[in-house]
Chains A and B, each alone.
Chain A
């Protein structure tokens, strides 16, 4: 059977009137999967999620059901579910609209997932910088309690679950799961050494599952429609659907929910092409921490394997598109300043290394320095990649090494012109030159 190009599941109710309310969600069949799940053995839920092939939607792509299976059920400590709603990877903008439009999808997923891992306490850690999203999730949790979907003896099932909505306070690093746990324990958000792994000793040193918003929100659809339904979408090793977020110099930026394996060429076509009179120059497949790609990669299947084979990573499907008016050196410098700002300071390669990267790049961007500085940059990257405590440092090197690989000449042009050869005004949405409005 053939699968449609776009397959709205998570986004399917976003255009409904007052979609964020319990009434609207239940009218669309919401919380039916929860009722099914609470009448099923927890291990069977885990099996269903394993069989579906769902892989973590927060970037790493680890199989969700397998992660749940790691929770040692013979451990006498309480088990916890923590939802990572700290969406902060530059370019990533899928979980925030999901929680704004349909917070009950997340809450229903939390109930089913907590039941599966036998947790009686779950936390939704939302970045603090999204006030209205915090309001909507707070309200959804409150409504779920009032409806008997949360609290003691949920819908007469004998299962108890409490959910706390926790607002963060501004720190990209808290998207890293162990740093998030530190934040949730009221400490500075710095990653923890592993082992022990969160599955064994996570929140309060107890067995903990940490999942991305989109992963958890996908669970009700799997319970409702079956593992085979989910795995009928996607590619051989990257099953199911996912939200693809297009931003930048494209005619219709926005959220496109499609089976994994769709290509950027297809997505740009759907989005009405690049902005009129311009062409794609470079793009990120999954946020700024995934190496840049170019127009030669337009037909790469956007699944874990396809993007990996192209030398990058699927990440969070945050497709940031830049046209020929954009200076890649300026873009990369700005990302590097971000990593420097967000480095938590715990490990030396990242804390010092990101500082040095900015020094070297800033000089090049101004047209100062020499060609040797490109090798210096790559050397600095090599001293960070694989040597830092967590993935933040690794991510910081991605835009630099990939941009030097594809756009070495553009770096050199800064040296020969003695500055940036681009006009930043031409890249803006309100540019008066060029065909774009």
Chain B
């Protein structure tokens, strides 16, 4: 498939700027690939070559990275990437039904784009918003507490060009614009949206109501220092923690 590359000298300058943020340039590769997607609409062979050239590594090395992470797309993505969480908690709370309804409504399968090129649908893994289940993400913005009806309304509004807002963030931008922010070029929308959604505040609300708080400063207390390294390791939960101790035996 021939693809006229959108990469310009400005893109190359930005790729170099990303690499320059780090003590070692290669650390920039993940954000650089986000930038490629923001320009090309996916990770293109040209984008891979560009990253390889800027970092002085082989295209195969870049490709190996680009194919490892799920946010990098090899096929063109629509203006809006709609992800329905179907990990256990969200699936049980209704994510499975939402995903089925959207597939039917958009006439697409998983990881496919609607005929008008506007919506790419996929199911996603846990996105750290379980207290708002079932959760849908649009261009990696939270759409909390969804139903099949609300999800259909959202994609229809997006296809009709209406303004749609994240439930905890700004008006939805395009996927390419979102990818640019992830590349480390802010879009000045940080001040949009609330501090927190309602579920994030339930515990705090109860504490306020009951007058509960953390103790006042310098309450007396036993020291929590474990007596020895061995004891700390015995107390820790996993073999990961256990492995830390071997540092001392080096």
B-binding residues in A (CB < 8 A):
1, 3-9, 11-12, 14-21, 50-56, 59-63, 65-67, 70, 78, 87-93, 95-97, 100-102, 121, 127-132, 134-136, 138-139, 142, 164-172, 177, 183-189, 194-197, 199-200, 204, 224-234, 236-237, 239-241, 244-249, 252-258, 270-271, 288, 304-305, 308, 313-315, 318, 320, 322, 326, 330-332, 334-335, 338, 341-342, 344, 386, 390-391, 394, 424-425, 427-430
Q: How many A-B residue pairs have CB under 8 A?
A: 401
The answer for the CA separation of A394 and B24 in the assembled complex, in Å, is 33
Query: Using Cβ atoms and an 8 Å threshold, which residues of chain B touch A95?
Result: 128
A-binding residues in B (CB < 8 A):
21-24, 26-31, 33-34, 55, 64-65, 68-72, 83, 86-89, 91-94, 96-97, 124-134, 137, 139-142, 145, 147-148, 166, 168-170, 178, 181-184, 186-187, 189-193, 195-208, 210, 212-215, 217-226, 229, 232, 235-241, 243-244, 246-248, 250
The answer for the CA separation of A256 and B238 in the assembled complex, in Å, is 25
Query: Using Cβ atoms and an 8 Å threshold, which residues of chain A touch B186?
Result: 135, 138-139, 142
Query: Using Cβ atoms and an 8 Å threshold, which residues of chain B touch A258?
Result: 203
Are B235 and A231 in contact (CB-based, < 8 A)? no
Are A132 and B170 in contact (CB-based, < 8 A)? yes
Are A188 and B130 in contact (CB-based, < 8 A)? no
- Our pick among B89, B181, B214, B238 for the contact of A59 (Cβ within 8 Å) is B238
Q: Could you name 7 residue pairs across A and B whose Cβ atoms are closer than 8 Å?
A: A8-B203, A88-B125, A93-B131, A128-B71, A246-B131, A253-B202, A335-B87
- Our pick among A51, A91, A130, A247 for the contact of B140 (Cβ within 8 Å) is A130
The answer for the CA separation of A240 and B214 in the assembled complex, in Å, is 10
Which A residue's beta carbon lies closest to that of B70? A170
Are A169 and B34 in contact (CB-based, < 8 A)? yes
Are A138 and B184 in contact (CB-based, < 8 A)? yes
Q: How far is the CB of B224 from chain A (nearest CB, A)?
A: 2
Are B89 and A197 in contact (CB-based, < 8 A)? no
Are B247 and A200 in contact (CB-based, < 8 A)? yes
Are A15 and B89 in contact (CB-based, < 8 A)? no
Query: Using Cβ atoms and an 8 Å threshold, which residues of chain A touch B65?
Result: 186-188
Given contacts A131-B181, A186-B55, A189-B69, contact A304 B87 (CB under 8 A): no
Query: Using Cβ atoms and an 8 Å threshold, which residues of chain B touch A189?
Result: 68-69
Given contacts A128-B71, A197-B247, contact A227 B224 (CB under 8 A): yes
Are B97 and A171 in contact (CB-based, < 8 A)? no
Q: How far is the CB of B174 from chain A (nearest CB, A)?
A: 12
